[in-house]
Amino acid sequence: MKSSCTEILRVTPCDPDGAQRESLASLLVRTARENDVSPAQLLEWKFATGTGLQMLKFSTRALGRSVGQSINGCSEVARMLVNRTEQLTRLDGLRRSTTLAFAPFTTFNGLLRQQLAWSVQSLRSQETKYYPLLWALEPVRVCPETRKPLGSLCPTCRQSLVLLSGGSHIGRCYRCGSSLFETNIGAVPADPIVGSIRSIDYEVWVARELGNFIRFQTVESLSEDFSYHRALEHWLDLFELRSNRDAAKALGASPLALFRWRSNKAIPRLRMTLNLCWVFGISLVDFLLLRRPSGHDGRLRQSIDAGMRHAAVSTRRRIDKARLGSELSTILRENRYSMMSFSEICSRKLRRRDVVIRQNFPEEARLVARRYLENRKLMADIKRDQFCAALETVARFLHARGIVPNYKTLSPYLDRPSKLRCAWAIAALRRVREELGYEDPSEQLMLLI
DNA sequence: ACGGTGCCATGTAATCCCTT
DNA sequence: AAGGGATTACATGGCACCGT
């Protein structure tokens, strides 16, 4: 199993041509089980070996927060992982187990939820336990088959679960190990997903639309030259929503948002796109293909999802570019606040958001940020040298008193004994021990007094 | 694990610009 | 000049990536 060229036992995705198609993260967990290793081991040994995938660092206990999301995601990482998995398993079409097909019409933000979500009833009835890609989509809050809200808190320990952990099993809490579907409690009352639901009918519609899109990929795919703003323009034109204000009112969005979507300055979150489809009375697939359903009466529906906007308090102050610019260049010229990070300087010294400074003075912003990182590195090197020097001194003193310098004997005299575990500290200890005449440092390192 | 950097969507307030 | 829609400016929150 260690080598990346040995064969692996493979499993095939569940419901490959349906709306409940298995997600890539789920497939990887099941593949790992089939091969008698933990998901973290499988990923580390077999999958994350290609160029660009080394960044997926795994520990056996837990995978990083975002790893599970990246795997089901629509970015470069997902694409590479799909290729690698197809190579290893000789399966094809695994692209459809991720959200890569969503990329042309949505952004990563608002596409996948951070936590695991599951349908208790579906898990119970599945013959082979697996997580459909649909459950990982952030706009999906109910199971389209049972019309019941998805759960996102473990019924036993009441905690939310990461999408993929080092030792995860399908249908089990990776923390407390209890089943996510066998208890009769159902959804935990405090579950945030349950709390966010206003209309079950609308949520079911959303889930079905996204399920249909997942299924749609098996037959067709979106054309290469799809662009969101052109599609939106087409529908706004069809429903005669000419001004941004009228369109915004009908769609339950802000006029400014409309302006940005139409002028290709931004793409709305997936949930908003579904809201648009709902108001237009069309399916997501029709929206994307600019296909007007036959029998459409041309009327708009009432938006269900409107009025859910965040209250962002904005107090606008004029930017005194000249003053800020001169302050910035003074900071750089006189090397002021060299141990403060860029954002810290922005908030504490310049009294501005870092975004503002970056927008107006990109060059200076980069210089200040880089300066801090370099200084921090320098300080780390200095501290390392100081630690090694202290280690050496203590070792000589112990030696003079007839005590063998090793981890145990040195620890009480050093301010940060845990640093003795670092490779550079071990090397420094070895050097001084060799110098003091201990013949086999690697062996004696373990000796007590 | 955690903090810093960088990017994205989207909110409110100000400003631009065209029409009347 | 006034008024309103379009656009820009400043702000917030969320998340990925990266190094320690």
A372 Cβ within 7 A of any nucleic strand B atom: yes
The identity of residue A104, as a single letter, is P
A181 & A120 share domain: yes
Q: Are residues A182 and A58 in the same domain?
A: yes
Query: What does the alpha-carbon distance between residue A263 and residue A253 come to, in Å, rounded to a whole number?
Result: 15
What does the pLDDT read at residue A441? Answer: 45
Backbone φ/ψ region at A177: left (φ over 0), alpha (ψ -120 to 50), beta = left
Is A301 inside a domain boundary?
A: no
CATH number at residue A266: 1.10.260.40
Near-strand C residues (CB closer than 7 A) = A 55, 65-66, 69-70, 73, 75-77, 108-109, 112, 114, 243-245, 255-256, 259-260, 263, 310, 312-319, 352-353, 355-356, 359-360, 376-377, 380
Residue A311 within a domain: no
The residue count for chain A: 449
Residue–nucleotide distance: A268 CA to C11 C1' (Å) = 19
For strand C, the positions having any atom within 7 A of a protein Cβ are: 4-20
Amino acid A343: pLDDT: 74
Number of other residues whose CB lies within 10 A of the CB of residue A124: 14
CA distance A286 to A145: 22
Q: What is the domain extent for residue A156?
A: 24-196
Q: What is the pLDDT of residue A210?
A: 95
Q: Which regions of chain A are under pLDDT 70? A: 1-7, 44, 47-69, 165-167, 184-188, 306-323, 347-348, 351-353, 417-418, 421-423, 439-449
Q: Are residues A68 and A107 in the same domain?
A: yes
Residue A206 lies in a domain: no
Task: Let me know: does A99 contact A74? Beta carbons within 8 Å.
Answer: yes
At A50 the pLDDT is 54
Same domain, A364 and A386: no
Cα of A233 vs its chain's centroid, Å: 31
Q: Are residues A46 and A81 in the same domain?
A: yes
Angle at A351 between CA A350 and CA A353, to 5 degrees: 100
Express each pLDDT in A196-236 by its tens digit: 888 899 999 999 999 999 999 877 878 878 889 999 999 99
| A356: nearest nucleotide, CA–C1' criterion | C10
> Do A239 and A332 fall within a single domain?
no
Is the domain of A278 the same as that of A332?
Answer: no
Q: Which two tokens stand for residue A446?
A: 């373990």
List CB contacts of A356: < 8 A, sequence separation 6 or more: A319, A346
Is residue A209 one of the residues assigned to a domain? no
Beta-ladder partners of A146: none
- φ and ψ at A132, to 5 degrees? -70, 150
pLDDT at A82: 85
Please count the structural domains in chain A: 4
Q: Is the CB of A365 under 7 A from strand B?
A: yes
Contact A73, A103 (CB under 8 A): no
Distance A343 CA to C5 C1' (A): 36
SS3 A142: strand
Cα angle A130, A131, A137; round to 5: 170
Has residue A130 been placed in a domain? yes
Covered bases, chain B (protein CB within 7 Å): 1-15
Please report the pLDDT score of residue A161 as a whole number: 81
- The answer to whether residue A6 sits within a structural domain is no
What's the pLDDT score for residue A55?
46
C1' (B3) to CA (A119) span, angstroms = 35
- CA A176 to centroid of chain Cα atoms: 23
A305 domain residue, yes or no: no
**A24 contacts A72 by C-beta, under 8 angstroms:** yes
The pLDDT value recorded for residue A231 is 92
* Contact between the CB of A354 and strand B at under 7 Å: yes
CA–CA dist A255, A246 (Å, integer): 8
Q: What is the pLDDT of residue A444?
A: 45
Per-residue flag: A256 CB under 7 A of strand B = yes
Residues A105 and A131 in one domain: yes
Look at residue A317 in the predicted model and tell me its pLDDT. Answer: 56
Find and give the residue nearest to B8, measured CA to C1': A109
> Which nucleotide has its C1' atom closest to residue A63's CA?
B1
Flag whether A231 is in a domain.
Answer: yes
A264 conformational bin, left if phi > 0, alpha if psi -120 to 50, beta if neither? left
What's the CA–C1' distance between A64 and B1, in Å? 10
Whether A367 and A392 map to the same domain: the answer is no
Q: Are residues A57 and A119 in the same domain?
A: yes
Closest CA to A207 of A129, A138, A128: A138
For residue A241, what are the CA distances in angstroms to A105, A246, A268, A282, A372?
21, 6, 18, 16, 50
Q: What is the pLDDT of residue A62?
A: 38
Residues A93 and A136 in one domain: yes
Same domain, A347 and A279: no
Residue nearest to nucleotide B1 (CA to C1'): A64
**Distance, CA of A448 to C1' of C16, in Å:** 46
